[in-house]
Amino acid sequence: MKSRKTLDGGALKQAWNWLFDDEMFADYRRHGNTTWSLSALVTMALLWAWSGEETLQERFRCGRAILCRLYRRREWGETYQGFLKILKTWTQPLLATVTERLRKRMQELPGAHWRVQGWCVMAVDGTRVEAPRTAANEQWFARVPPHRRRVRKSTHQRKTTGQKKRQAASPQVWLTVMWHVGLGLLWDWRQGPSGSSERAHLVEMIDDLPQKSLVIADAGFQGYDYWQALLERGHSFLIRVAGNVRLLKGLGHVRRRKNIVYLWPDRARKRKQPPIVLRLFEFHDTRQSVWLVTNILDQQQLSQRQAMAVYRRRWGVEVFFRSFKQTFGRSKLRSHAPQNVEMELDWSLAAFWSLELLAVRELLYRGRAPCDLSTVGALRALRQSLQCAALGMDFN
């Protein structure tokens, strides 16, 4: 994709109006004596995240210059600290509104990319994002969430003395994302301290999945409780399993077939919970066997060949992480206070999602596929447009 054709400076305002409008925030009522309107606050938050300036304050100054031209007003808050204060107050409700709008725009995109092999396929995975080494960040992001169970490790699993002494170079935020495979776009995310459970994050995101989704994931997302949560909400899954998962055969709950297995751990059996009936696949790559399980028992709905083709596309979420961290520059955040770190990460994800959505939309209207997306080119074009807008060039 040629970057100059992704978002021209003159098309910036038109693209923005497609993404968001003032009516989105009509149900919210401001309080206090703030001069910020909610639409301007969202605009400023995304401009702040889109900017390529070195410091957060420089990003705010550049974003405010564009904001004043976009809204033809100059009475927006002038200080960076004032912007952060009002953004903290409104981040949670505004992000919910922005997320809902972006999902709606995804479903309105042309083409047949919403489904893959007949399914709305969602890949889930987690990664760590670094934060500055401050006392507050170290204390906050190193904490263990209350839901995280401590499991006693065997002798072979215990870390060596040298490994125990090694520490991360800086505090880390755990980020779990839900990524739409067909469109190659973000769908949802959760964040927490470095000890967070990505499987617990998955459970939190289930309610926001489209109807009858197919969730694909690696072996980090295996477990009875998590799979049962997906089944109870009418979703399916295709998940890689490791050797530590005990799968049973021949329980007689369905007609016996050689690739039918069951997950029925002792705790579920004692609680009189039913076994989860699964279909087991084995694939071979150049190095080792890959084992996948799915709750889709009908081969006509999901054949073995289709299952492997779908699972291979899970790699796209790894590409998403690489683009977000390296291309978008979020391998390490810049805020020194924990609440600001979380807010910076949230708006960075919303901004990155908006950028890629605009670029994919442009590709589809040209008759091309989402996989042709060049995040580097899209980001370069956007930042060139922002620079022109800040200088008053080719904006309206």
What per-residue confidence (pLDDT) applies to 151? 47
What per-residue confidence (pLDDT) applies to 71? 73
Higher-confidence residue of 48 and 245: namely 48
What per-residue confidence (pLDDT) applies to 257? 66
Token pair 């401009």 in the structure block, residue: 47
- Phi and psi dihedrals of 77, rounded to 5? -50, 135
Confidence band (pLDDT; 50, 70, 90) for 271? very high
Instruction: For residue 127, give the nearest of 336, 353, 332, 335 by alpha carbon.
Output: 332
What per-residue confidence (pLDDT) applies to 156? 46
Would you list the DSSP string of 355-366? HHHHHHHHHHHT
The total number of residues shown for the chain amounts to: 396
Helical axes 224-232 vs 198-205, angle rounded to 10° = 10
Check: CB of residue 378 under 8 Å from CB of residue 355: yes
pLDDT reading at 27 higher than 60:
yes
**The whole model's pTM is what?**
0.89
3-class DSSP assignment, residue 116: strand
What per-residue confidence (pLDDT) applies to 384? 87
What per-residue confidence (pLDDT) applies to 31? 57
Q: How far apart are CA 297 and CA 260, in angstroms?
A: 8
Instruction: Tally Cβ neighbours within 10 Å of residue 305.
Output: 10
Q: What is the mean pLDDT of the chain?
A: 86
Higher-confidence residue of 352 and 2: namely 352
pLDDT reading at 208 higher than 50:
yes
What per-residue confidence (pLDDT) applies to 160? 46
Q: How far apart are CA 328 and CA 48, in angstroms?
A: 13
Average pLDDT over residues 204-218: 95
Residue 180 to residues 188, 196, 216, 254: CA-CA distances in angstroms?
A: 9, 23, 10, 32
Q: How far apart are CA 331 and CA 244, in angstroms?
A: 32
pLDDT reading at 163 higher than 50:
no
Confidence band (pLDDT; 50, 70, 90) for 165? very low
Burial 64-102 (b: 16+ CB within 10 A, else e): bbbbebbeeeeebbeebeebbebbebbbeebbebbbebb
Confidence band (pLDDT; 50, 70, 90) for 170? confident
Average pLDDT over residues 45-64: 93
Higher-confidence residue of 292 and 284: namely 292
pLDDT reading at 279 higher than 50:
yes
pLDDT reading at 5 higher than 90:
no
3-class DSSP assignment, residue 130: strand
Check: CB of residue 216 under 8 Å from CB of residue 231: no
Q: What is the pLDDT of residues 300-352, one digit of tens each?
A: 999 999 999 999 999 999 999 999 999 999 999 999 999 999 999 999 999 99
Average pLDDT over residues 63-76: 76
Largest CA distance in the chain: 72
Q: What is the pLDDT of residues 101-156, one digit of tens each?
A: 999 999 999 989 999 988 999 999 999 999 999 999 999 998 766 655 554 444 44
Q: What is the pLDDT of residues 222-265, one digit of tens each?
A: 999 999 999 999 999 999 998 888 888 877 655 556 789 999 99
Instruction: For residue 386, give the nearest of 105, 98, 75, 64 by alpha carbon.
Output: 64
What per-residue confidence (pLDDT) applies to 284? 81
Question: Which residues partner with 261 through β-bridges?
Answer: 278
pLDDT reading at 9 higher than 80:
no
